[in-house]
Amino acid sequence: MAAQYYLTHMDGVNGLHHITAIAGPAQENLDFYAGVLGMRLVKKSVNQDDPGTYHLFYADAEGHPGSDLTFFPWAEMAPPRIGYGLALEAALEVPAGSLDFWGSRLQKYGVPLGAVEQRFGDRVLPLVDPHGLKVALVEPRVTPQRAFTPWDGGSVPHERQVRGLYGAQVWEHEAEMTETFVTDVLGFERLGEENGVIRYGFEGSAGVLDVRETPEGRRGAWGVGCIHHLAWRVDDEEHQHEMRSRVEASGHHPTPVIDRFWFKSVYFKEPGGVLFELATDGPGFAVDEDAAHLGETLVLPPWLEPARPRIEEVLPPLKLHQVA
Ligand code: ZN
């Protein structure tokens, strides 16, 4: 057991931990992800660097690492400048045989949908969220192993629910530098290439990175409707320290460890400019809230508690609406 644990460490990160994206108005974001997609709002907090902005976390019922799509609703921000150095699509796993259900449900709510397509043997339904973020619902060819707890508080039946994050697509000016970094330093495997996209991922854990090389394009920039960063799983602080050292030794510039309470974080840019994070699996979302009532009240880090009245005054009110 100890040897296996050690091997896991040496191999790199353990798949996707969370994806954070930039949204428009918070209420519309909540209505879509908790209402239409039926995910659980597991944490309602603020951006720790910009406490006048919410940070909303959607996941499975328990907020397992790898299930978690989070948003900064920066409604006043412009749309992104589409280009390289950006992550531009988030993929969510749905159960085999559920894309017809999702197609009808999303149509009912007027969600812009693409045609169902095949990618690397997976069945994929592309859609666009209310603020322009590209999202792909994926029935995987091979279902990755993951912890999943269905959520009873939404209107999507258990057997159709979003099971967690499947991956993300990034655009790169030069795919090779990113490939060397993610395979040599972070321990991804190159899984294949198809239609101008190279796929990297992990054996036995969820989280693919699809790299599209766009050498003739321009550099992208963040805006409403794109991904802010991709966070990769590490077991614990020791594993995080080890991965942080490897990132630093490869000539990159990781931040110090930052305590996000539900996990500990280290940030850095991969060679192509996409912001990555190393996030620990624990302690998890139930560390500061009763597991039965996750996401119901505004949770603030202790140093912001004295400013709670002012923060609550600035944040727009949010209401969880039930949809059919
Ligand atoms: Zn993050």
> Rounded to the nearest whole angstrom, what is the distance from the C-alpha of residue 104 to the centroid of ligand 1?
32
> Rounded to the nearest whole angstrom, what is the distance from the C-alpha of residue 324 to the centroid of ligand 1?
31
Residue in this structure with the two tokens 């996707």, named with its chain if needed: 16
Q: Are strands 40-47 and 227-234 parallel, antiparallel or unpaired?
A: unpaired
CA distance 77 to 104: 32
Reported in sequence order, the residue ranges of the chain that DSSP labels E, i.e. its strands, are 16-23, 40-47, 50-59, 68-73, 86-93, 117-119, 122-128, 134-139, 164-172, 189-194, 197-201, 208-213, 227-234, 258-259, 264-269, 275-280
- Spell out the residues 6+ positions from residue 189 whose beta carbon is closer than 8 angstroms to its own: 183, 200, 201, 202, 203
Q: So what's the pLDDT on residue 324?
A: 80
Q: So what's the pLDDT on residue 205?
A: 87
> Rounded to the nearest whole angstrom, what is the distance from the C-alpha of residue 21 to the centroid of ligand 1?
9
Residues 134, 139, 142, 145, CA torsion sign: positive
> Rounded to the nearest whole angstrom, what is the distance from the C-alpha of residue 152 to the centroid of ligand 1?
26
> Rounded to the nearest whole angstrom, what is the distance from the C-alpha of residue 17 to the centroid of ligand 1?
8
CA distance 272 to 220: 11
Share of the chain above pLDDT 70, in %: 97
> Rounded to the nearest whole angstrom, what is the distance from the C-alpha of residue 47 to the centroid of ligand 1?
10
> Rounded to the nearest whole angstrom, what is the distance from the C-alpha of residue 90 to the centroid of ligand 1?
14
> Rounded to the nearest whole angstrom, what is the distance from the C-alpha of residue 19 to the centroid of ligand 1?
7
> Rounded to the nearest whole angstrom, what is the distance from the C-alpha of residue 260 to the centroid of ligand 1?
9
Q: Which residues of the chain have pLDDT under 50?
A: 1-9
> Rounded to the nearest whole angstrom, what is the distance from the C-alpha of residue 279 to the centroid of ligand 1?
7
Contact 227, 131 (CB under 8 A): no
SS3 of 4, please? Answer: helix
List the chain domain ranges. 16-314
> Rounded to the nearest whole angstrom, what is the distance from the C-alpha of residue 107 to the centroid of ligand 1?
31
> Rounded to the nearest whole angstrom, what is the distance from the C-alpha of residue 299 to the centroid of ligand 1?
16
> Rounded to the nearest whole angstrom, what is the distance from the C-alpha of residue 314 to the centroid of ligand 1?
23
The backbone torsions φ and ψ at residue 56, rounded to the nearest 5 degrees and listed phi first, read -110, 135
> Rounded to the nearest whole angstrom, what is the distance from the C-alpha of residue 230 to the centroid of ligand 1?
7
> Rounded to the nearest whole angstrom, what is the distance from the C-alpha of residue 168 to the centroid of ligand 1?
14
Contact 92, 136 (CB under 8 A): yes
Residues 64, 65, 67, 70, CA torsion sign: positive
SS3 of 10, please? Answer: helix
Q: What is the dihedral of CA 154, 160, 162, 167, to 10 degrees?
A: -170
> Rounded to the nearest whole angstrom, what is the distance from the C-alpha of residue 108 to the centroid of ligand 1?
32
Q: Which amino acid is at 39?
A: M
> Rounded to the nearest whole angstrom, what is the distance from the C-alpha of residue 231 to the centroid of ligand 1?
6
> Rounded to the nearest whole angstrom, what is the distance from the C-alpha of residue 277 to the centroid of ligand 1?
6
CATH number of 16-314: 3.10.180.10
SS3 of 8, please? Answer: helix
Q: What is the pLDDT of residues 60-83, one digit of tens each?
A: 999 999 999 999 999 999 999 999
CA distance 56 to 30: 8
- Spell out the residues 6+ positions from residue 30 whose beta carbon is closer than 8 angstroms to its own: 41, 56, 318, 319, 320
CA distance 133 to 242: 33
Q: So what's the pLDDT on residue 190?
A: 96
Q: Which amino acid is at 30?
A: L
